[in-house]
Amino acid sequence: MKLVNFISNLAMPLIILIIVIYGLKEKKNVFDDFLDGAKEGLGIVINILPTLIGLFVAIGALRSSGILDLIINILNPLLSIVKFPTELMPLAMLRSISGSSSIAIATDIMRNYGTDTPLGMMASVIMGSTETTLYTIAVYTSCVKIKKTRYILLAALTADIVGIITSIIVCQFFV
């Protein structure tokens, strides 16, 4: 375990050192290249900032409005028929929207039910098999100025739904 921690602590400085040595070997001005990359990155951040602010406001409104609880209460009879744990529904609904919200929900599930319980394992597998789809689409499409995202959104959300359902089925089968 100490070896793994040592390698983990050494990884980033080693990567930086390798990049600098390679740049010097190739006779490139590493610092100027770094500054150019930082300027370009700052420009990208400025371009996507309005999209990110809009997403964060929408997520905050969704979480504080109580609509998630309403949707879960409406879907509860259907969820119990297909044996989908209602405790995982907030995670399933917010995972495609917000990474930080879904991490908070998954952590709460594991704190309340345990990490080795079926709910804890399902939450872990859902987190690993899905993506923050709306965030990713918003950032990438706004960065390259793509306006028509209908088919991207449909395909990505379908993949998230399949990932969530498959996670539940696989965990129910193995646990």
The predicted-structure confidence for 67-109, as pLDDT tens digits, reads as follows 888 888 898 888 888 888 988 998 998 888 878 788 888 898 9
Same domain, 17 and 95: no
Domain check: are 72 and 114 in the same one? yes
Query: How does DSSP assign 74-132, residue by residue?
Result: HHHHHHHHTT--GGGHHHHHHTTT-HHHHHHHHHHHHHHH-SSSHHHHHHHHHHHH---
Residue 119's pLDDT is 92
Same domain, 81 and 160: yes
Kindly indicate the confidence band of residue 124, based on its pLDDT and cuts at 50, 70 and 90.
very high
Q: Output the pLDDT for position 151.
A: 84
Ranking 29-33, 54-58, 105-109, 128-132 by mean pLDDT, the lowest is 54-58
User: Is 58 part of any domain?
Assistant: no
State the pLDDT at residue 55.
73
Using alpha carbons, list the distances in angstroms from residue 67 to 53, 96, 141: 21, 16, 28
Q: Tell me, yes or no, whether 76 and 36 share the same domain.
A: no
Same domain, 32 and 92: no
Classify residue 57: in a domain, yes or no.
Answer: no
Do 31 and 78 belong to one domain? no
Q: What is the model's pLDDT at position 121?
A: 93
Q: Does position 120 have pLDDT exceeding 90, yes or no? A: yes
Whether residues 73 and 156 fall in one domain: yes
73 and 27 part of one domain: no
**Average pLDDT over every residue of 143-151:** 77
pLDDT of amino acid 39: 92
How high is the pLDDT of residue 113? Answer: 93
Could you tell me if residue 152 is inside a domain? Answer: yes
In the chain, how many domains are there? 2
Q: Are residues 162 and 83 in the same domain?
A: yes
Tokens, residue 88: 């995982």
Q: Are 171 and 118 in contact (CB under 8 A)?
A: yes
In a domain, 61, yes or no: no
Domain that holds residue 126: 66-174
